[in-house]
Chains A and B, each alone.
Chain A
Amino acid sequence: DTGVSQNPRHKITKRGQNVTFRCDPISEHNRLYWYRQTLGQGPEFLTYFQNEAQLEKSRLLSDRFSAERPKGSFSTLEIQRTEQGDSAMYLCASSASGRENSPLHFGNGTRLTVT
């Protein structure tokens, strides 16, 4: 399967702990996105990369959130000092690069529960 892969699928953590999620995009895709989705809502944009460059980060995103894509391949999303409000599904997506926009291909997500 050459789709977008996310690990872990589920993460339960206690408030105040740090968590890190990993995303492996489709190999030929240069753009990588992180979204957050809560029940009954659409995916909320967090950040995106083109190769290793982080091109935009949501203004709504707390400083506790940081994402990296050091070699332009896989990406990690870290949440420091987790809060109960961080509980959500974290979706990663990738797309092919080019002058025109191309569809996002989503992974299965990492479901975070903060207790």
Chain B
Amino acid sequence: GENVEQHPSTLSVQEGDSAVIKCTYSDSASNYFPWYKQELGKRPQLIIDIRSNVGEKKDQRIAVTLNKTAKHFSLHITETQPEDSAVYFCAATYSGTYKYIFGTGTRLKVLA
């Protein structure tokens, strides 16, 4: 079925610590995995993405890893800052289509 599970639903970390958010998808044909950040009252915005032919991608303090065998991918944020506080969504494309299914979101709170 079309399903993307995301954990945890809430995450609190101290400023400077790392945060990890994990997602699991069900369709082995999924080949593109974007991550979005949504601040309160604003639109979701892409922060990083990864394709199925790559195992890891990094952009400054943000990295994403993909395990195709286990069908899960993770977002890693290092040296967290208060402005990282937001809701993060993972997504996966489905069955060779251009449809994106989103996870349920993780509310990240970075404590100063």
Chain A interface residues toward B at CB < 8 A:
31, 33, 35, 40-45, 48, 50, 55-56, 91, 95, 100-101, 103-109
Known: A50-B98, A106-B43. 20 other contacts (CB 8 A): A31-B98, A33-B100, A35-B102, A40-B105, A42-B4, A43-B102, A44-B102, A45-B99, A55-B97, A56-B99, A101-B31, A101-B93, A101-B98, A103-B46, A104-B46, A104-B91, A106-B45, A107-B43, A108-B42, A108-B43
Cβ of A102 to closest chain B Cβ, rounded Å: 8
In the bound complex, residues from chain A placing their C-beta under 8 Å from that of B43 are: 91, 106-109
Does more than half of chain A's interface fall in helix, strand or loop, or is it mixed? strand
How many Å lie between the Cα of A5 and that of B2 in the bound state? 28
Inter-chain contact total with CB atoms closer than 8 Å = 56
Give Cα distance in the complex from A106 to B45, angstroms: 7
When C-beta atoms are compared, the residue in chain A nearest to B6 turns out to be A42
From the candidates B31, B42, B51, B105, name the one contacting A42 in the complex (CB within 8 A). B105
B44 CB-CB contact with A under 8 Å: yes
Contacts of B32 in A (CB 8 A): 100-101
CA distance A23 to B5 in the complex (A): 29
B13 interface residue per 8 A CB criterion: no
12 pairs across A/B with beta carbons < 8 Å? A31-B98, A40-B105, A42-B102, A42-B103, A45-B99, A101-B93, A104-B34, A104-B44, A104-B91, A106-B43, A106-B44, A106-B45
User: With a CB–CB cut-off of 8 A, which chain B residues contact A55?
Assistant: 97-98
A41 to B104, alpha carbons, bound, how many Å? Answer: 5
Query: How close is A4's CB to chain B, nearest CB, in angstroms?
Result: 8
For B1-20 the 0/1 string (1 means CB < 8 A from A) is 00010100000000000000
The complex places the Cα of A50 from the Cα of B31 at a distance, in Å, of 19
B103 with A95: CB separation less than 8 A? no
Given contacts A42-B89, A106-B44, A107-B43, contact A95 B98 (CB under 8 A): yes
